[in-house]
Amino acid sequence: MSQPESALADAQAGGRKNGAPPKGKEPLAKLAERHGLRRAIARPSLPAYMRQLWDRRHFVLTYASSKNVSKYSGSMLGQLWQVLTPMLNAAIYFLMFGVILGARDDIENYTAFLITGIFIFTYTQRSVSGGAKSISGNLSLIRALHFPRAALPLAYTIQEFQQLAISMGVLIAVVLVTGEPVTWLWLLIPVALFLQTLFNIGAGLVLARIGATARDMNQLLPFIMRTWLYTSGVFFVIAPKIEQAGLPAFVADILYANPAAAYIEFMRDILISGHTPRPWIWMACVFWAVFALIVGFWYFWRAEERYGRG
pLDDT-based confidence at 199, cuts 50/70/90?
A: very high
- Of all residues in the chain, what percent carry a pLDDT higher than 70? 82
pLDDT of residue 9: 53
Contacts of 111 (CB under 8 A, 6+ apart): 94, 104, 174, 178
- Asked whether residue 118 falls in the same domain as residue 31, the answer is no
- 46 has pLDDT over 90: no
- Asked whether residue 115 falls in the same domain as residue 258, the answer is yes
pLDDT of residue 92: 84
Distance CA 303, CA 214 (A): 14
pLDDT of residue 278: 82
- Asked whether residue 114 falls in the same domain as residue 216, the answer is yes
- Asked whether residue 101 falls in the same domain as residue 177, the answer is yes
- Asked whether residue 14 falls in the same domain as residue 129, the answer is no
Tell me the pLDDT tens digit for each residue of 233-268: 888 888 888 888 888 888 999 999 999 999 999 999
pLDDT-based confidence at 157, cuts 50/70/90?
A: very high
CA 32 to chain centre: 39
pLDDT-based confidence at 28, cuts 50/70/90?
A: low
Mean pLDDT of the chain: 82
Most confident of 3-7, 82-86, 297-301: 297-301
Distance CA 248, CA 123 (A): 31
- Asked whether residue 32 falls in the same domain as residue 121, the answer is no
Whole-angstrom CA distances from 118 to 105, 110, 236, 244 are 19, 12, 12, 24
- Asked whether residue 32 falls in the same domain as residue 72, the answer is no
- 19 has pLDDT over 80: no
Q: What are phi and psi of 41, to 5 degrees?
A: -100, 15
Tell me the pLDDT tens digit for each residue of 203-234: 999 999 998 888 778 788 889 999 999 899 88
- 10 has pLDDT over 80: no
- Asked whether residue 87 falls in the same domain as residue 222, the answer is yes
Q: What are phi and psi of 31, to 5 degrees?
A: -65, -45
- Asked whether residue 90 falls in the same domain as residue 28, the answer is no
- Asked whether residue 124 falls in the same domain as residue 256, the answer is yes
- Asked whether residue 179 falls in the same domain as residue 226, the answer is yes
Q: How many domains does the chain have?
A: 2
Range of the domain at 20: 1-38
- Asked whether residue 128 falls in the same domain as residue 4, the answer is no
